[in-house]
Amino acid sequence: MIPDEEHVFNKAWVGVDSGPLSAPVLGRVVGMLAARADCPIDRLDDALLVADAVAAKAGSFSDDGRIRAQIVARMGSVELLIGPLRDGGADGLVSSAALPGVGNVLEQVADEIESREGADSDEYLLIRLDFDAQRSSTTDRMESDVT
């Protein structure tokens, strides 16, 4: 389930059990897709922060404790679509990212956070980070890839 199939440069679907494997795996996949989409280093760091938060908490909001996420790299953005989640899981996952003295990590770094309903009526959480692609040569390549 990708909300908008247009301008997708690359995508990956990840399913991993919640636990010690989830953060290293999800972080690397998100990091690779974001980096190849020419995400600048500060936003790459934000993307990894989001991946770590999702890896740490998303399992608590799925029916079987498993983390499932689709990562979509577009020109100038990277999106994580997490789910299916149980009812109220999207809001719960966002709320769980609040840290004392820091605030809500997801809300601070993401440009869009939205609860979505899939075709199967399951709940998903969309987290989008926007950025300015860095190298024009790669931007050209991305544009030619998506047209």
Partner 1 sequence: MAVDGSDGAVPSTSEGVNPTPDLELKLPARAENVAVVRHAFGGFAEGLSVDEQTLADIKLAVTEACTNVVIHAYEDGEEGDLEVDASIDDQLLTVVIRDNGRGIVPRPDSPGLGLGLPLIATLAASLELGRDHGDHTEVRMTFRLDEDRDPQ
Q: Give whichever of 29 and 91 is closer to partner 1, judged by the CB atom.
A: 29
Q: Classify burial at 63, counting beta carbons within 10 Å of its beta carbon; exposed 0-12, middle 13-18, buried 19 or more.
A: exposed
Decide: is 33 part of the binding site for partner 1 (CB under 8 A): yes
The smaller minimum CB distance to partner 1, of residues 55 and 129, is found at 55
Select the span of 19-27, 41-49, 92-100, 120-128 touching partner 1 (CB under 8 A). Answer: 19-27
The count of chain residues that interact with partner 1, using the rule CB under 8 A, is 24
Decide: is 14 part of the binding site for partner 1 (CB under 8 A). Answer: yes
Q: Which of 18, 96 has the CB closer to partner 1?
A: 18
**For residue 81, which of 96, 67, 102, 60 has the smallest C-alpha distance?**
67
Instruction: Kindly state the helix (H) or strand (E) to which residue 118 belongs, with its residue range.
Output: none
117 - beta bridge partners?
123
Residue 64 vs 87, nearer CB to partner 1: 64
Is the backbone peptide bond immediately before 84 cis, with ω within 30 degrees of 0?
A: yes
Decide if residue 86 touches partner 1 (CB under 8 A). Answer: no
Instruction: Residue 89: count other Cβ atoms within 10 Å of its Cβ.
Output: 22
Q: Is 15 in the site for partner 1 (CB under 8 A)?
A: yes
Write the binding mask 103 to 142 for partner 1: x where contact by CB under 8 A, - elsewhere.
----------------------------------------
- Cα–Cα distance, 77 to 2 (Å, whole number): 14
Backbone angles phi, psi at 8, to 5 degrees: -80, 120
Which residues form the interface with partner 1 (CB under 8 A)?
10-17, 19-29, 31-33, 36, 66
